[in-house]
Amino acid sequence: MTTITLPETSASEGMKNQPLTPGQLMWRRFRKHKAALFALGGMIVLLLYIWLGGLVFSRGICVPTGEFLTAEAYANCNDTAQKLQPPSREHPFGTDTIGRDILARTIYGGQISLTIGIFAVIVEVIVGVLVGAVAGYFGGWVDDVLMRVTEAMLIIPSLFLLIVLSKAIGGSVPEIQFLGRAFSGSVVVIILVIGFTSWMYLARIVRANVLSLKEMDYISASRALGVSDARIIFKHLLPNTIAPIIVSSTLGVANAITSEAYVSFLGLGVQTPTASWGNMLDSAVKYLQTAPWLWLFPGLMIMLTVLCINFIGDGLRDALDPRSTRNI
């Protein structure tokens, strides 16, 4: 009797033959998007600069008082004897019109700008997902009412509303403390206005996905088993709509940062002494030629952040598309 010996399969070859999980498949697609991968690295560097830079760069002696200051107090310390100093070893990004260190202010201004972007998107996602999911799942008059409200909101010019409300009630909202930082009332107003005027497109996307998913067999089976509507929406429908929600969220952060820069540049956004990249540009308007470092560094931060987030959003759109077979 002859014995047939089967070829041995190494452990590494066996691992290669295993099917990829959704997360591994997404990461493989994302890695092939070179611009998105480069932007992800750039965004990590920016975040390290903004959140950890305060521990390294934002400290020094405030000459008028002689105190050694750390954190945001140093960024707000003014020394008129050092005003409008060009970049130097002591002040790598130079100083502004009242002698404040621009390096420290870009760090803390970045924290404010990113905080506005992230929390505005949280408001946008909560409202947009709820409206879109409820409208798409229940349909009928519920869908009609919610979609008419959505279309009415699209007519409202969000930037104009942001300017008006920031001017009208920005100063009347009390200051709040969050994560050891003091945020002026104008920051809260900007977050709420941007969030409540930018959810409409996400609501339409979620509604379209829910309309197609609710006709699937597993949803019909869930209804037949007596599963509640809320559980079907939050446990079955929304998890399968996560891809467009993530992509919309990344792009929404960039839009919120840009909107904040618009109104702060007009002097109606984040109010001093709280720094943001937008109001740093506003203070540089009169010195575009004589002191270019005043606008160069905050403008560069806005440009790089928005570009990185947009490229990451493009990469996620391709990576999370279940029908995409690009570069697998």
Q: Are 106 and 114 in contact (CB under 8 A)?
A: no
| 242-265 vs 185-196: helix crossing angle, rounded to 10 | 130
pLDDT for 181 beyond 90: no
CA angle (181, 182, 183) in 5-degree steps: 115
Predicted TM-score (pTM) above 0.95:
no
Least confident of 6-20, 36-50, 159-173, 184-198: 6-20
pLDDT for 128 beyond 90: yes
Alpha helices in 172-292 (DSSP H): 185-196, 200-213, 217-224, 229-231, 242-265, 277-282
pLDDT band with cut points at 50, 70 and 90 for residue 130: very high
Which pLDDT score, from 0 to 100, does residue 77 have? Answer: 81
* Rg, the chain, Cα only: 25
The phi and psi torsions of 62 (rounded to 5 degrees) equal: -85, 105
pLDDT for 127 beyond 90: yes
Q: List Cα–Cα distances, 179 to 112, 151, 182, 191, in angstroms.
A: 12, 37, 8, 17
pLDDT for 252 beyond 70: yes
Which pLDDT score, from 0 to 100, does residue 54 have? Answer: 75
pLDDT band with cut points at 50, 70 and 90 for residue 123: very high
d(CA 244, CA 248): 6
Assigned fold of 106-319: MetI-like fold (1.10.3720)
What's the whole-number average pLDDT of the chain? 81
SS3 assignment, position 65? coil
Q: Are 244 and 209 in contact (CB under 8 A)?
A: yes
Is the bond preceding residue 273 a cis peptide, omega within 30 degrees? yes
d(CA 50, CA 108): 7
Express each pLDDT in 192-227 by its tens digit.
Answer: 888 888 899 999 999 999 998 888 888 888 888 888
Q: Are 190 and 270 in contact (CB under 8 A)?
A: yes
Least confident of 67-81, 246-260, 279-293: 67-81
Which pLDDT score, from 0 to 100, does residue 41 have? Answer: 93
Q: Are 210 and 241 in contact (CB under 8 A)?
A: yes
Domain range summary for the chain, segments of one domain joined by +: 106-319
- Fill in the amino acid letter for 298: P
Helix (H) or strand (E) holding 308: helix 293-319
Structure tokens at 132: 């879109």
